[in-house]
Amino acid sequence: MKSDFALTTPRLYLRPYKNADLLDLVDAVRESTASLSPWLTWCTPDYNQHDAHSWIHASAQNWLYDVSYEFAVFSRHNDAFCGSVSLNNLSSLVNSAELGYWIRSQTQRQGIATEACLVVSRFAFEQLGLTRLEIVTHTGNLASQRTALACHAKFECTARNRIMMHTQPIDGILFSLIPSDLASAKIPSALKVSQP
């Protein structure tokens, strides 16, 4: 993938993580532990630069070998780091992936997750050729469920033992997106490969 690869919307640009994002990532995670730690076990008050460096390095390897695609999300207005959207658990057997996302506390409830997920979903369908995306949320994570529905994902089921949380299996809410679902979604811009 080119170093200047980015997905853009009117408000956001998304690109692979870089080492320069390390401090922004640490700040965002520490700021957001109250809202994110119930759902993301790695989101703790002691998240540090070593953790961020390991994540950024692993993400670069994932991109290099097409294992998964993690996007750092930034505001086009002020270049502020807003959070992350990822395509992971790619399966060539069923031509699908999981769509995951988190947004830092100070930029939550602004539609950023929805906007970022929609443009990443289109990247998944149009550029990667996937035919199904799954969003799996905790049963109590209503904000994440609202984002899934705002992206026109369809509720499929409560999947038993679908999420591992502190080494224990728990139920998850499963949503799916297929290419035709995006036909009725307002995707704010065309995909672009560009330097924002």
Q: How far apart are CA 57 and CA 53, in angstroms?
A: 6
Q: What is the pLDDT of residue 7?
A: 92
Q: Are 55 and 29 in contact (CB under 8 A)?
A: no
What residues have CB less than 8 Å from 95, skipping those under 6 apart?
129, 130, 131, 132
* DSSP 8-class letter at 2: -
Q: For residues 151-155, give the mean pLDDT.
A: 93
Q: How far apart are CA 3 and CA 142, in angstroms?
A: 36
Per-residue pLDDT of 70-128, as tens digits, reads 999 999 889 899 999 999 999 888 999 999 999 998 888 888 999 999 999 999 999 99
The whole-model pTM stands at 0.87
Task: Give Cα separations from 67 to 12, 26, 37, 136 (angstroms).
Answer: 24, 24, 25, 19
What residues have CB less than 8 Å from 97, skipping those under 6 apart?
68, 87, 88, 89, 90, 91, 124, 128, 130, 132, 133, 134
Look at 32-36, 53-57, 132-136, 175-179 and tell me which has the smallest mean pLDDT: 32-36
Q: For residues 5-23, give the mean pLDDT.
A: 92
Looking at domain 7-130, its CATH architecture is 3-Layer(aba) Sandwich (3.40)
CB-facing half-sphere around the CA of 1: CA atoms within 13 A: 25
What residues have CB less than 8 Å from 55, skipping those under 6 apart?
17, 25
Whether 1 shows a pLDDT value over 60: the answer reads no
Percentage of the chain exceeding pLDDT 70: 92
* DSSP 8-class letter at 182: G
Q: For residues 173-189, give the mean pLDDT.
A: 80
Per-residue pLDDT of 51-68, as tens digits, reads 999 999 999 999 988 899
